[in-house]
Amino acid sequence: MSYQEKNITVELTSYVLILGFYLVSWLQMYQVEGLIPARVFSLWIIVIVAIILVNIVASILTHIVLTIFQAIKTRTQPDERFIADERDKMIGLKGMRNSYVVFSLGVFLSMLTFVLGQPPLVMFSLIVFSAILAELIGDISQLYFYRRGL
């Protein structure tokens, strides 16, 4: 597994966990007490900070642990290259394209809910949801392109 695939897998896992947390927390909040702006804003802050911190920490820890395991397994210093060639850039661009398409559709659907009479907090919550989902779809498509050998 290449360095890029490892990073994508770590990001994918963290986005799945954070999206699950966001959905469970939001649905509990919506069913129990309704959408209270202060609670929704605090949930958004928690999710955004978690995305940043979890991705950074998980990426660093995963790279360190995998490097240690490989060094123990092969009894040599791993000579891993962190160079991105045209293939890596093309895969990144295709994943970004898919991510933008999903996010654009999510923003459109969230604005449609506002037009149909839902509160603004629902619209903004759907925008946050579509942003996380877009990153998830972008990572899945990048992993697919790496596995496919594009």
Question: For residue 56, what are its two tokens?
Answer: 């950074």
pLDDT above 70 covers what percent of the chain?
A: 95
- Residue 69: pLDDT over 90: no
Q: Which residue has the higher pLDDT, 70 or 137?
A: 137
Q: Count how many Cα atoms sit within 13 Å of the Cα of residue 122 in the half-sphere of its side chain.
A: 14
Q: Which residue has the higher pLDDT, 37 or 70?
A: 37
Closest CA to 6 of 76, 78, 72, 106: 78
- Range with the lowest mean pLDDT among 2-6, 46-50, 119-123? 2-6
| Cβ atoms of 12 and 138 closer than 8 Å | no
- Range with the lowest mean pLDDT among 24-38, 67-81, 124-138? 67-81
The string of pLDDT tens digits covering residues 38-59 is 999 999 999 999 999 998 998 8
- Residue 1: pLDDT over 70: no
Report the pLDDT value the prediction gives residue 105, as an integer from 0 to 100.
97
Residues 6+ apart with CB under 8 A from 66: 6
Tell me the Cα Rg of the chain. 19
- Residue 84: pLDDT over 80: no
Q: What is the mean pLDDT of residues 109-123?
A: 93
Please give the Cα distance from 95 to 142 (Å, whole number). 5
Average pLDDT, the chain: 89
Question: For residue 149, what are its two tokens?
Answer: 């050998």
Reading phi first (left if > 0) and then psi (alpha if -120 to 50, else beta), residue 117 is in left
Question: For residue 2, what are its two tokens?
Answer: 């290449």
Q: What is the mean pLDDT of residues 61-83?
A: 78
- The helix/strand/coil state of 75 is coil
